[in-house]
Amino acid sequence: MQMSLNLEIDYQATAKKVTDFLGSKLDRYLALSGKQRFNLKSPSIDGMPKAPTKGNSSENRILNIWLAEEVVDCVGCAMRNMTAESQRIMLDRYSDQMAAYNIAQKLSISAATYNRKQEQALCEFADRFEYQIVKHGIYTEIDDLHVYPDEK
């Protein structure tokens, strides 16, 4: 069996899926992990094991918190490892919660250029986040943020 890397994604749909994840789902992960959006800018070291086992309800609560911490760490690592321009866009928007207009102004670009660059940054985030969730061993727990053309 030959494996092939599917590099073809729907950029607009992927960008929307990432926006939805970072806009609403991330808040729940942040709350469960006890972290804030500003924590996305700095690396954190957890001493937690990477493969906990599932068990009773108390263990499930602990696992939910552990998973939330892992997701937040993956988001932060993905953002911190992006290309410089994408990193500025993503951290300004999702860590500092700056308005798009203010980010465009800060970067000295038009709104249209900002929108194009933001879509690119969101898709780059999906790629880098995918790497992080695999590296952290939580890829079976977290949905892929990519949308592929055949999924429409």
Question: What does the chain come to in residues?
Answer: 152
- Phi and psi, residue 133, nearest 5°: -70, -30
pLDDT of residue 151: 67
pLDDT of residue 150: 80
| pTM (predicted TM-score) | 0.84
Residues of the chain where predicted confidence (pLDDT) is lower than 70: 1-6, 43-55, 151-152
- Strand ranges (E), 59-136: none
